[in-house]
Amino acid sequence: MKTNLRLLLALVATSAPLLAAPLTSTTAVHARPEASAPAISVLKAGSEPTPAIGTALALPPGWQAVELTGPHEVYVNGKDMTKNLDIKPNAELRTQPKSDAPVLSYYVTGDTAEITGLRGRWTQLKLQKKIVGYIYTPGAGTAAAASTPAPAPAAYTPPAASPVPAVASTGGAPGRPAQNINLGDGGSSALPRLFKGQLVATKKLIGRAPFAFQLNDDGGERYAYLDTSKLLLTEQVDKYIDRTVVVYGTARPVPNSKDIVIQVESLQLQ
C-alpha cells in the first residue's frame, strides 16, 4: 500500500509541470521563447493554456510551450499559390496580409487550409493545424527547466511528395506548355474548388465554342470553358467580361475533346 502511494505521489510530481493554471492577464504567444520574438497570437486573461507535450526544446525559466489548436486565420502571398489556387509546399502562412507580419506556420502537403477570402495579392485561409507557441509567465516553468533537457530538434525533412492527382490537359499555344487542371478523383464526381483567371466571352473569338464563356491564364490562353447554367438568372455575367475573377465550381472534361469545362457555382472579382 505504501509503495502504491509513493508511486502515485511520484506520478503527480512528474505531471505537475504539465498542468497550466489560468492566466492572470492577457498574454502574448511568441514564435520563440524570447521576449523579442514576434507574437503569433494572444491568450485572454482567465484562459487555461494547453501545454505542448513533447516539445524538443529546453526552455528558459518562466517560459512555457503551449499548443494552439486552431482554426487559425492566416494569409498566403499570391506568389506562393498556383494558378489553380493550390498552396505551394513550404509557403509562409502569416498572421496578417502583409510581408512583414509574423509567420504562424509553413504549409506542408496534407495540411487542411480553406480559402475564406481575398485581400489584394494575399489569400485569406482558415488553417486547421496545431501550432506550438511560447508564453512567458513569471515563476512558471522552473520545475520544467530544472529537468533533464530534451534532445535538440531534428533537422527539418521535407515531406514525401503526394501521389500525382489526375489532371486533364487543355492544349496550349505553340511554344507554351499546356495548362493542367486537377480533376480530383476524376470526372463529374470531383469536388468543387476555386479557379482564378480572366473571364472572356467566346462570342468575341473566331470560330464556334461549346460554351459562352471561358477562363484564360495570364498569357491570354484558354485553360477552361465556363458553364454558367447553374448561376442565378439575376447574375450578370457580362459585367465580369475581360476582368480577373475567382470561380468556384467543378472541373470536368468536355466529351469527345481535350477541353475542360468548369461548372460554375459562384464567381467574384479578384
Cell triple for 31: 514564435
| Residue 143 neighbours by CB under 8 Å, 6+ apart | 16, 17
SS3 132: strand
pLDDT at 76: 92
**Looking at this protein, which amino acid is placed at residue 209?**
A
pLDDT at 219: 82
Chain position carrying cell 470560330 = 207
- Compute the distance between CA of residue 129 and CA of residue 126 in angstroms, rounded to an integer: 9
Q: Which residue has the higher pLDDT, 101 or 189?
A: 101
Is 31 within 8 Å of 41 (Cβ atoms)? no
pLDDT at 223: 83
Instruction: List the one residue out of 250, 134, 120 whose CA is nearest residue 190.
Output: 250
Q: For the chain, how long is the longest CA-to-CA vector? A: 92
Going from N- to C-terminal start, the domains of the chain cover 72-128, 167-269
pTM for the whole structure: 0.48
How confident is the model over 116-160, as pLDDT tens digits?
A: 887 778 888 999 988 888 999 876 544 444 444 444 444 444 555
Q: Where are the beta strands (DSSP E) in 107-165?
A: 112-119, 122-128, 131-136
Kindly report whether the peptide bond that precedes residue 49 is cis, defined as omega within 30 degrees of 0.
no
Q: Which helix (H) or strand (E) holds 145?
A: helix 142-146
pLDDT at 55: 58
Per CATH, is 167-269 categorized as 2.40.50?
A: yes
| Ramachandran assignment for 10, one of left (phi > 0), alpha (psi -120 to 50 degrees), beta (any other) | alpha
Q: Is the pLDDT of residue 19 over 80?
A: no
- Contacts from 234-239 at CB under 8 Å and sequence distance 24+? 237/199, 237/213, 237/267, 238/201
pLDDT at 15: 41
How confident is the model over 200-241, as pLDDT tens digits?
A: 998 877 777 889 999 988 888 888 899 988 877 556 788 889
